[in-house]
Homo-oligomer: A and B are copies of this chain.
Amino acid sequence: MPDTLHDGDALNLDVAASHMVTRIPRVRAEATVDSVLELLRGQVFQCADTIFVVDPQDRLLGIVRINDLFSDGTRLIQDIMVPEHEAVALGDDQEEIASLAIRLNMIAVPVVDWDQKLVGAVPPEALFRILRDEHMEDLQRFAGIAAHDDGPDAALDAPLFNRFSRRLPWLVFGLLASSLITVVMVGFEHTLSSNVSVAFFVPALVYIAGAIGTQAVSVSVRGLSVGEVDIGALLRDELIIGSAIGTALGSLAGLAVMIFFGDVILAVAVGLAVLAGGTVSAVVGFGLPWVFKRFGSDPALGSGPICTIIQDVTSLFIYFALVSLLVL
């Protein structure tokens, strides 16, 4: 019988079955600590950090940390075990394994089959790799880089063409999407040609909207990773924080335009565009990861071109509309 059901590195199945080991200590609840220690002697385990307590049908009753096994030898396992039935299924994604481990402070996560029978455990070594992989994958997704088939660590040493082709798709999509921004600009050609200085503030506006949006995406992705959070409350908070930030930066930007360009209308338009664009960006940046998650995609995709383009288009539209309105 193989030690692991699959070789995770070769198959890159990011599920519990590919991360688990099967040679783990299984004991009965009625046994004494001393008898368990005797039982474990002479056996070779792949994960002895946690002792798994099972019933005669091999169903998980609880776990005992090895730390607690070297205690009073006459005590019964059932008296020192954590009656913790939560486990992952064979097909559960590695993200779920990591979040269960973190939530319950477990260093080895039991794996059960469709019949709730204990089949193995994901050892701490594998949990470390999972946590690190998730970290590296998030960094990639945030930057719009497609995942490498062999996991994030292989990505750095991949052949040049592979690295090139994992980065190109999102950029091409972004380029196509950014034609929408160009459409907005063309739509306000009249405003631009009647006062070319309106164009001066376009890149800075786009930059600020994007920066506020990126912060909101990061808050959102973090919120989703924590698990049970009240999305309504967080969204309301984000609206408040976004408009507060928009007000602060908008006042600053308007003041700067007033001082350096002496144009009241332009100053008001820039200030209000930063305020409105910032608020919209915060809400969009916060909301999109939840939408992605809802449709079964990765929340970190919310930081990609879709979010940026929505923010850019909204900010510029507000800006040009304000300028056109105020100049008229």
Contact = CB atoms under 8 A, between A and B. Distances in A.
Given A125-B107, A164-B244, A175-B208, A214 B143 contact: yes
Interface string A134-170: 1110111011110000001101100010011001101
Given A171-B245, A207-B178, A215 B138 contact: no
Contact of A308 (B105, B189, B207): B207
Given A43-B70, A172-B249, A142 B142 contact: yes
Nearest to A216: B143
A267 interface: no
Interface residues of A, number: 105
Contact of A143 (B215, B237, B253): B215
B223 A174 contact: no
- Identical subunits present: 2
A313 to B, nearest CB: 9
Interface stretch (A8-16, A84-92, A197-205, A290-298): A197-205
A272 interface: no
A248 B174 CA distance: 13
A321 interface: no
Contacts of A131: 128, 131-132, 135
Contacts of A37: 37, 41
A226 to B, nearest CB: 7
A7 interface: no
Contact of A222 (B47, B136, B217): B136
A326 interface: no
A199 B190 CA distance: 12
A113 to B, nearest CB: 23
Contacts of A83: none
Contacts of A129: 102
Contacts of A199: 185, 192, 196, 199, 202
Classify the interface of chain A: helix, strand, loop or mixed. Answer: helix
Interface in A216-237: 217-219, 221-223, 225-226, 229, 234, 237
7 contacts: A46-B67, A66-B66, A145-B219, A167-B245, A178-B207, A186-B197, A196-B196
Interface of A: 34, 37, 40-49, 66-73, 101-102, 105, 107, 124-125, 127-129, 131-132, 134-136, 138-140, 142-145, 152-153, 155-156, 160, 163-164, 167-168, 170-172, 174-175, 178-179, 181-182, 185-186, 189, 192-193, 196-197, 199-204, 206-208, 210-212, 214-215, 217-219, 221-223, 225-226, 229, 234, 237, 240-241, 244-245, 248-249, 252-253, 256, 305, 308-309, 312, 316
Given A42-B72, A211-B308, 17 more contacts: A43-B71, A48-B66, A48-B69, A102-B128, A107-B124, A128-B131, A131-B135, A142-B214, A144-B211, A145-B215, A155-B222, A163-B237, A172-B249, A178-B204, A185-B201, A185-B203, A207-B305
